[in-house]
Amino acid sequence: MAGNRSEMVRDHWRRMREAAVTNPDETAADVRERVDRYWPGLTAEPGGVDYLEVEVNGLPAMWAVPKGAAEDRVVFGVHGGGYVSGSIYTHRKLFGHLAKAVGARALLIEYREQPFPVPLEDVTAAYRWLLDQGIDAGHIAAVGDSIGGGLAVSLMLRARELGLPLPAALMLMSPWVDLTVGNKTFESNRENEAFFYKEVVAFLASAYLGDADPKEPLASPLYADLSGLPPTYVQVGGHETLLGESLEFEQNARKAGVDARLEVFPGQLHTFQMAAGYAPEADDAIRKYAEWVRPKIGLR
C-alpha cells in the first residue's frame, strides 16, 4: 500500500482531473499555467544541487549539478507532461534528486510541444549536442518519465538509425510507449486511477500523433525492434493504467536481447517518483535507480 506521503501524487492527479472537468473550455495555456503552478510542489528540494540554465539548439535546457558530482558523467533527462505540459522547471527537482543520488550532473532538455515527430527531433538534436560537448556516450544515462520515457526510448531508436553511439543505460519512469491506448490495464486498473483514464490518454495520443500511425515505432516504441538498446530499468506503479504497456515493453526488450529489468511498486500511481524527498516510496525508487546505474556509467 502507498504511504501517506505518496498520496500527494494521487491527490495531484485527482486535482488535475477535477480542474479539467470543472473548466472544459480552458485553453492549452490555462492547462500549462495550472500544471506549472502545482506540479513543482510535489517534489522536495534535493539540497546541495545547483541549477544552471543554458540553451541547447535554440531551446531552454538546464544543468542540475550536485555538489561533488563527476563532471564527465551525465544523466540526460527527458521530462513528461503528455506533450501539453511539463517542463525542465516542473522536473528540475526530480532530476536533481536522481543526479545527486547517482553522483553525476543531469542535463534537463526541453522540446517543442508540437505533433510527432517534432519532439523526437528536438530530443535527438539535444543528445547530439551533449555528445558534441565531449561527453562519452558510455558515460551517459538517459532517463524519462511518462511520455518523456517514451521519447527516451524513441531517442535510442533514432540514434541507432543515425549511427550515433547509444548511452550506457536507460531509466524509464512509468513510460508511455504505446499510443494505441489498447492495453487491458486501462480497464483493470481504472478503479485505482486518478487521472490517466483511457479517454484522457486517447485524447493526448491523438493530439500528438496527428496523421501518424499509432503503431509507428518512433512514436510508439512498444512496436519497435528493440535490439541493441542499452541496459534498461523500468519502474512503474502497480495502480496505474499504463502498467500493462510497461510489462509488455520489458518482455519485448528481453526477447530482443536487451538487458532489461522491470519493477512494479505496489499501490503507486503514474510517475510516483515525483514525490522524491517527501515520500519514502519515491526515495526508494530513486535510490534503486542510482545503485543500478552507477556501475553502468563507470561510477562506484
Q: Which residues are catalytic?
A: 146, 240, 270
Q: Reduced to 3 states, what is the DSSP secondary structure of residue 260?
A: strand
Cell numbers linked to 140: 551517459
Distance of CA 275 to the CA centre of its chain: 14
Q: Where are the alpha helices (DSSP H) in 53-146?
A: 92-102, 118-132
CB 45 within 8 A of CB 100: no
Using alpha carbons, select from 143, 213, 156, 155 the residue that is nearest to residue 179. 213
CA–CA separation, 176 and 242 (whole Å): 7
Distance CA 76, CA 80 (A): 13
What cell was used for 209?
500523433
Q: Nearest-CA neighbor of 176 among 210, 142, 193, 151?
A: 151
CA-to-CA separations, 120 to 126, 174, 245, 298, in angstroms, rounded: 10, 18, 20, 28
**H or E segment to which residue 106 belongs:** strand 104-109
> From CA 146, how far away is CA 35, in angstroms rounded?
15
